[in-house]
Amino acid sequence: MADTEAVQLRSAWLSTAEYDPEEKSLEITLDDGKSHEYSGVPSTVFQALLNAPSPGRYFVTQIKNRFPET
């Protein structure tokens, strides 16, 4: 992801999130170091992930299996 910065998440199993607004791509890095990238993610979804009381739960219900993983 060009010119983006990873944001630390307050989660038991998610480590960081990195969002590219031009590409609408979201990269999630897990605590075990594995990362997953999703395409077509609106910026509002990324902001909601950052503001969610439980980023892990938000990821599972609103991102995983809802956006194509690249």
In eight-state DSSP terms, residue 21 is T
> Domain for residue 32, yes or no?
yes
Regions of the chain where pLDDT drops below 70 = 1-3
> Domain for residue 69, yes or no?
no
CA distance 53 to 62: 14
Q: What is the pLDDT of residue 2?
A: 59
> Domain count of the chain?
1
- Quote the pTM value: 0.92
> Domain for residue 20, yes or no?
yes
CA distance 60 to 70: 17
Report yes or no: 56 and 62 within 8 Å, Cβ to Cβ: no
Q: Which domain holds residue 58?
A: 7-62
CA distance 53 to 2: 28
∠ CA 36-16-40, nearest 5°, is: 45
> Domain for residue 56, yes or no?
yes
Q: What is the pLDDT of residue 27?
A: 98
Q: What is the pLDDT of residue 4?
A: 80
> Domain for residue 68, yes or no?
no
> Domain for residue 70, yes or no?
no
